[in-house]
Structure 1
Amino acid sequence: MKYDLVVVGGGPAGLAAAIEAKKNGVDSILVIERAKELGGILQQCIHNGFGLHEFKEELTGPEYAQRFIEQLKEQNIEYKLDTMVLEVSPEKIVQAINSEDGYMIIQAKAVVLTMGCRERTRGAIAIPGDRPAGVFTAGAAQRYINMEGFMVGKRVVILGSGDIGLIMARRLTLEGAKVLAVAELMPFSGGLMRNIVQCLEDYDIPLYLSHTVIDIIGKDRVEKVIIAKVDENKKPIPGTEIEYECDTLLLSVGLIPENDISRATGIEMDRRTNGPVVNELMETNIPGIFAAGNVVHVHDLVDFVSGESRKAGAAAARYIKNEIQNGEYINLKNGNGIVYTVPQKVRVENIEKSLEVFMRVNRIFKEVKLEVRAGDEILLSTKKNHMAPGEMERILISKKKLEALNGKDIIFEIVEGKQIISCDSYDSCTIVPVGGDK
């Protein structure tokens, strides 16, 4: 089999990339999806809040996915479901298998990797205690309730305050369960502020920051969960235990970009994002292999996934048509308070009007100044009232400014303001100046 473009993954990222590549003149496209339906995780996200940036209206996850599925079909883009990609070689040879076609070897001119991400499990974080039934990842519980029609429990404790966990706190409450508490190891939530308000505060569900589960008790089914406060080294503090009688524990303890294929291909990885290192075109270090969406870094809004993936799809089309310019790379680096930047390196020649940079901070900041500089030159300085790890930041830098850098590295940094060091709750936090100690 031969295709100009193979897209690995049929979720929101893969759909957007394939559609954009088709709009940019690539006719021979194959989308490969391992699930039985297109749309990825969105199919189980029946709550609204999607599409505000992309479609200027509020949609549910399945509605958002359906918009792109319909576009894919209108463009007559070929796709294979229930198909597992086994390997992608640096030469863009894709090996895949399914029950209908059997083992396939597909030669592509370009590949876009859009495999999304997976949840951390109990084993990944080593929670002590018994091993009864009733311990679920938040995403698994979401699928059981929203797609399979099974209720996972009646009295629930949630560990981790990522967006999926927060949304499931509300979902379980609406289905008649009692959510007793949400415990978060970090001194800040990993979710969006709007989800903390709409999913916890609106339903009087307590959020315990700097707390974790220290024991699970139960023979056949979960009977009790014990949480405790942790110190600055994330170690439980004796005497702070809180015991809950419950039948279910949900884990919302982080997402991991799905990059087994990327690593096997030899793609350079960024240990900060657990995703590929990409350039201004979302291209990896292997020419012609692109990556976009949650496989690169975990996004908080699917609208940003779609926008980033369109960029990868258009760039893949440029690669196929041999329209990409080679030039010297400028490196993007994170300074004080910044966890990572995406992309990690850029060539000015391939930027049209401005460079879009996504980043996350490493703690909660209040009334701060974010500075972007190259050497002594300040490219951008902006004030932010609130920055948090659960909320991705987006910065635009004009091409004109980049052209004047002469190859200097760009540094993103929090230079002044206040930072939150520790919290028991959102009403009780230790706040110090940026750069100060507790």
Structure 2
Amino acid sequence: MYDLIVIGGGPAGLAAACRAWEEGLRNVLILERDKELGGILNQCIHNGFGLHRFRTELTGPEYAQRFLDLLSQTGVQSWTDTMVLEVVPGENGAHQVHCVSSGRGYQVLETRAVVLAMGCRERTRGAIAIPGERPAGIFTAGTAQRYLNMEGYMVGRRVVILGSGDIGLIMARRMTLEGAKVLACVEVMPYSGGLTRNIVQCLQDFDIPLYLSHTVTDIRGHDRVEQVVVSQVDDHMVPVPGTEMTFDCDTLLLSVGLIPENELTRQAGIQIDPRTSGAVVTENMETSIPGIFACGNVVHVHDLVDFVSEESERAGAAAARYVLQTGTGGAVRPLRCAGAVRYTVPQQLHQSAEQADIFFRVGQVLGNSTIRVTDESGKELAHFSRQRMAPGEMEHIVLSPIMLRGAAGALTVSAEGV
């Protein structure tokens, strides 16, 4: 019987496991399906990580190594090359984790607590139904990143990128530095889905055009991509006839969104938030099933790994408190959203919560704006000012004990322009 099993050995899983050890758990196991720990960070060889967490600029592997060094100072076990097939919630604090590996075969492990830290996956061409031929040369941006940075394969020479998510923007720069010609980055929305700093550093600094309110409407090619047709879209996302642009290229990279890797979450019967496609969690990252916690991109897609680590440490600490029976439960109140706010994480707060870190995204670009937190009676508990908010950048507010004290019923987070 394990005290805690952490599913996923990326930045979320590493942070949760280290924190659980610090809080007193001594029988902790990390299960990772890849051949080494570190997760997606291993292929992110660009810098820009760690500015919030370590106050220094690191590459992805360097950031992962910081936590691997911390892990090496603990007694936490880790099994790599191990696929988790199912999480079966149990009664009386005994959950089952079904996993399989070439070295150990099929196993059913018992644990008092589970932290879900499986990360996220990319949307594919099939998810967005791009018309046209089906030739070689079409990759998700993350797949191309792994091929280039870890496997040593150059995926193409003349490239069009669909979607302006951060991975796509970073790959625009990476492909350029490797000698490819990036012809365009195309975004169906009227705003970019990535961080402003990535738009500047990865597109503008390399004179790569960004076409907003455009999408790919045709892919041409027999054995390999030969042309991509891009069209402008109207306010209803419908291509506008007569606006077609044809790019002669051999590669199309898709950066069209990330989805929490939530199959295990759904299979376990955990409540899912349809807005995030991740688990509904409380302020300590506990799911709807007691003793099962979730953190990182499996809950909602983050823009900075620093926030993943911070959130995951809360999950690890809460899992330790649960196992050591120092309390994580109690009555909860819903946390709702209104105005420009698309969703919040957490979606629930314990009535006894003394402080709450709230993360959310807006659904449109806002200039000078105000974030308000109100209770069920309409009483304003807090307000925060922002000079700018955009869908591609996650917002963070902290509700202090003073703000939460005396709040009635459900809380609502809203945002509106001034």
TM value normalised by structure 2:
0.98
> What SS does the corresponding residue of 2:387 show, helix, strand or coil?
strand
Alpha-carbon offset, residue 128 of structure 1: 0.5
1:125 to 111, 125, 128: 128
Q: Is the 8 A contact 1:348 1:403 kept in 2?
A: no
Q: Percent identity?
A: 59
Deviation of 1:263 (Å): 0.2
Aligned mates of 1:185, 1:166 — CA distance in 2: 15
Q: Which residue of 2 aligns with 1:429?
A: none
1:175 Cα deviation from its structure 2 partner: 0.6
Whether 2:288 is the aligned partner of 1:285: answer yes
Retained in 2: the 8 A contact 1:210–1:229?
A: yes
Q: 1:325 to 1:196 in 2, by over 3 A?
A: closer
Match of 1:311 among 314, 323, 338: 314
Cα drift, residue 350 of structure 1: 4.1
2:388 aligns with one of 386, 403, 427: 386
Residue in 1 that maps onto 2:356: 355
Q: Tell me what 1:414 maps to.
A: 415
Offset, 1:325: 4.8
Residue by residue over 1:5-29, the C-alpha shift from the partner in whole angstroms, topping out at 9 and shown as x without a partner, is 0000000000000000000000000
Distance 2:242 2:271 in 1: 46
**Do the aligned partners of 1:358 and 1:393 also contact (CA within 8 Å) in 2?**
yes
CA distance in 1, matches of 2:106, 2:81: 13
Gaps of 5+ in 2: none
Return the match for 1:228 from 217, 223, 231: 231
CA offset digits 1:407-436 (Å, max 9, x no partner): x2111112333xxxxxxxxxxxxxxxxxxx
8 Å CA contact 1:348–1:399 kept in 2: the answer is no
Q: Which amino acid aligns with 2:27?
A: S
Instruction: Give the match for residue 26 of structure 2.
Output: 27
Q: Is the 8 A contact 1:4 1:108 kept in 2?
A: yes
Residue aligning to 1:431: none
1:402 aligns with 2:401: no
In structure 2, the partner of 1:427 is none
Q: In the TM superposition, what are the counterparts of 1:48-127 in structure 2 within 5 Å?
A: 48-91=47-90, 92-127=95-130
Change (3 A) 1:71 1:326: closer
AA paired with 1:37? E
**Is the 1:18–1:313 Cα contact (8 Å) retained in structure 2?**
yes
Alignment-mate amino acid for residue 253 of structure 1: V
The answer as to whether partners of 2:187 and 2:212 remain within 8 angstroms in 1 is yes
Query: Equivalents in 2 of 1:327, 1:144: separation in Å?
Result: 47
Task: Give 1:400 deviation, angstroms.
Answer: 2.5
CA distance in 2, matches of 1:416, 1:50: 31
Q: Distance in 1 between matches of 2:372 and 2:417?
A: 9
Q: Which residue of 2 aligns with 1:373?
A: 374
Q: CA deviation at 1:377?
A: 1.5
Q: How far is the alpha carbon of 1:401 from its aligned partner?
A: 2.1
| Matched residue, 1:136 | 139
Matched residue type, 2:399? I
* Counterparts of 1:358 and 1:184, CA distance in 2: 25
Aligned residue pairs total 413
CA distance in 1, matches of 2:344, 2:322: 24
Q: In 2 relative to 1, CA 380–9 (structure 1 residues): closer, same or farther, beyond 3 Å?
A: same
Matches within 5 A, 1:230-269: 230-269=233-272
Q: Would the aligned equivalents of 2:32 and 2:82 in 1 still touch at CA under 8 Å?
A: yes
Summarize deviations over 1:335-373 as a string: whole Å, max 9, x none. 01000000001114243xx21000000010011122111
User: Structure 1 counterpart of 2:309, which letter?
Assistant: S
Query: What secondary structure, in the 3-state scheme, does the structure 1 residue paired with 2:169 have?
Result: helix
Structure-to-structure mapping, 1:338-353, within 5 angstroms: 338-351=341-354
Q: CA deviation at 1:403?
A: 2.2
Per-residue CA deviation, residues 380-416 of structure 1 (Å, 9 max, x unaligned), is 222211100000000001122212113x211111233
Structure 2 counterpart of 1:110, which letter? A
Q: Which of 167, 172, 178 matches 2:170? A: 167
Q: Which runs of 4+ in 1 moved over 2 A?
A: 325-328
- Structure 1: how far apart are the matches of 2:349 and 2:13? 23
Q: Does the CA-based 8 Å contact 1:325-1:350 persist in structure 2?
A: no
Q: What secondary structure sits across from 2:6 in the alignment?
A: strand
C-alpha distance in structure 2 between counterparts of 1:115 and 1:76, whole Å: 22
Once the two structures are superposed, residues 193-232 of structure 1 have per-residue CA deviations (whole angstroms, 9 ceiling, x without a partner) of 0000000000110000110000000000000000000011
2: CA distance, partners of 1:106 / 1:270: 28
For structure 1, list consecutive stretches of 5 or more residues without a partner in the other structure.
418-438
CA 1:41/1:115 → structure 2, altered by over 3 Å: closer, same or farther?
same
Q: Is the 8 A contact 1:33 1:84 kept in 2?
A: yes
Look up the SS of the partner of 1:335 in the other structure. strand
Q: CA RMSD of the aligned region, Å? A: 0.9
1:337 corresponds to 2:340: yes
